């Protein structure tokens, strides 16, 4: 048999999806699985978007442009203007989800074995995108005890080498829910300028902020124009995960010109998905206000019910719809497997995402899980009851 690439064989497994076979087996046995492992919103998408999907009478689905529809890009500019982000349509490349935007970015800015600094824990697929691009991830630990705030500048700067090409963050953060402040972005922007690096910020969860703090975009400071790259998507904002429509945005014209070489290789974003995404932008402001309020209630409920479980500690997310929970176990992945294989309560169980997969450093996050509060309050409360019972059984088995 011909050999396979080491790169392919060594791509890290997704901590979000690696336990799926156990969940499927549980479902086959008639057990209801409450999914807290994946950021799949259960809130309906805007009617404007779904109407496009239902009512199109197309004879075919033609190619679009590689950069994405200009009409859509112009509507995105209007959306961003409401968030004090001034961009033009030509600053945007529409991509197949934020995933492709990150993949394009890493391939454009890095040659093999160059490095990107990422505070950890971070979205697990960043590891995979980097590995696929032959890029080395350099993790810098942010602490659970400090709510995962940005590590000190000296700590970050100590990891910068001649191979460093960029710093990458998600703001608000998946998996921690941490919201980086304008002051923290300024620290990163100054480091990017000082060491001539790119600053990549994944802003997919921009709309989901639960306190009085404001989101500060990497594109709001004109001094960073040649260094700043923003990643975005309609997936979470409009419950259009399956549309797979995202974008990379920058004022750096040479960067975008080079990224277009990759965009041409995949021809164009999906036509119907792009039409639905464009229509989503026509949703009234009340749509997103309602979505944010629903997640705000869920966040409050989840923190309250988890906080009542003996031995469980919970980070308090300021944004996104995730939190990190420390469990009174030594191996959260083994416990998460136990939940699916060996435990149910009233024919229900819970699926979690072991947090070790959101770290790049070895042996970190082993007693942690990421929890997505994408179920309603009743189900979140029920999930906490199941979790407490499962912990008691697991600890005494």
Tally of CB atoms within 10 A around 96: 19
At 3, the pLDDT band (50, 70, 90 cuts) reads confident
At 397, the pLDDT band (50, 70, 90 cuts) reads confident
Under a CB-based contact definition with an 8 Å cutoff, are residues 75 and 94 in contact?
no
pLDDT in tens, 53-105: 999 888 889 999 999 999 999 999 999 999 999 999 999 999 999 999 999 99
Enumerate residues 6+ apart whose C-beta is below 8 A from 368.
121, 144, 324, 325, 326, 327, 332, 354, 355, 356
Kindly tell me if the per-residue pLDDT of 16 is higher than 90.
Answer: no
Average pLDDT across the chain, whole number: 95
Report residue 66 CA to chain centroid gap: 24
Mean pLDDT of 131-152: 95
pTM, 2 dp: 0.95
Q: Record the tokens describing residue 65, joined without a space.
A: 């442009």
At 145, the pLDDT band (50, 70, 90 cuts) reads very high
Kindly tell me if the per-residue pLDDT of 237 is higher than 80.
Answer: yes
Tally of CB atoms within 10 A around 111: 11
Mean pLDDT of 280-299: 96
Task: Sketch out the chain's domains with CATH numbers.
Answer: 7-44+286-395 (3.90.1150.10), 47-280 (3.40.640.10)
At 351, the pLDDT band (50, 70, 90 cuts) reads very high
Q: Which of 7-16, 279-288, 296-305 has the lowest mean pLDDT?
A: 7-16
Under a CB-based contact definition with an 8 Å cutoff, are residues 395 and 328 in contact?
yes
Cα separation, 4 vs 16, whole angstroms: 25
Rg (CA), the chain: 21
Q: Record the tokens describing residue 333, joined without a space.
A: 């992945």
Report residue 11 CA to chain centroid gap: 18
pLDDT at 142: 96
Tally of CB atoms within 10 A around 60: 5
Which residue pairs, CB below 8 angstroms and at least 24 apart, start in 282-290? 282/46, 282/48, 283/46, 283/47, 283/48, 283/49, 283/238, 287/46, 288/207, 288/237
Kindly tell me if the per-residue pLDDT of 15 is higher than 90.
Answer: no
Mean pLDDT of 197-202: 98
């Amino acid at each position: 048999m011909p050999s396979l690439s080491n790169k392919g064989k060594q791509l890290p497994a997704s901590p979000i999806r690696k336990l799926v076979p156990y969940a499927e087996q549980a479902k086959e046995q008639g057990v209801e699985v409450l999914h807290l492992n994946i950021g799949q919103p259960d809130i309906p998408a805007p009617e404007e978007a779904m109407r496009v999907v239902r009512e199109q009478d197309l004879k075919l689905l033609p190619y679009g442009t590689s950069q994405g529809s200009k009409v859509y890009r112009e509507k995105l500019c209007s959306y961003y203007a409401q968030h004090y982000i001034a961009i033009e349509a030509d600053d945007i490349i529409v991509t197949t989800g934020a995933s492709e935007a990150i993949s394009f970015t890493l391939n454009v800015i890095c040659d093999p074995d160059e490095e990107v600094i990422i505070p950890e824990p971070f979205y697990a697929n960043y590891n995979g995108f980097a590995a696929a691009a032959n890029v080395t991830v350099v993790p810098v630990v942010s602490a659970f005890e400090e709510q995962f705030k940005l590590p000190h500048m000296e700590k970050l700067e100590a990891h910068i080498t001649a191979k460093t090409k960029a710093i990458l963050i998600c703001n608000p953060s998946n998996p921690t829910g941490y919201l980086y402040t304008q002051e923290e972005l300024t620290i990163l922007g100054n480091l990017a300028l000082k060491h001539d690096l790119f600053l990549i910020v994944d802003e997919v969860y921009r709309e989901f902020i639960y306190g009085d703090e404001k989101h500060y975009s990497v594109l709001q400071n004109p001094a960073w124009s040649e260094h700043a790259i923003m990643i975005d998507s309609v997936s979470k904002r409009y419950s259009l995960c399956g549309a797979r429509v995202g974008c990379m945005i920058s004022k750096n014209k040479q960067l975008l010109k080079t990224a277009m070489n990759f965009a041409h290789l995949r021809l164009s974003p999906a036509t119907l998905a792009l039409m639905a995404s464009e229509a989503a932008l026509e949703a009234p402001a009340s749509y997103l206000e309602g979505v944010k309020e629903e997640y705000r209630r869920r966040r409050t409920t989840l923190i309250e019910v988890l906080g009542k479980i003996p031995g469980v500690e919970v980070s308090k997310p300021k944004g996104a719809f995730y939190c990190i929970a420390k469990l009174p176990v030594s191996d959260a992945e083994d416990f998460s497997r136990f939940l699916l294989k060996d435990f149910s309560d009233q024919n229900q169980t819970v699926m979690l995402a072991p947090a070790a997969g959101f770290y790049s450093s070895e042996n970190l996050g082993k007693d942690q899980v990421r929890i997505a509060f994408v179920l309603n309050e009743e189900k979140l409360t029920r999930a906490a009851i199941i979790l407490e019972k499962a912990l008691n059984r697991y600890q005494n088995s």
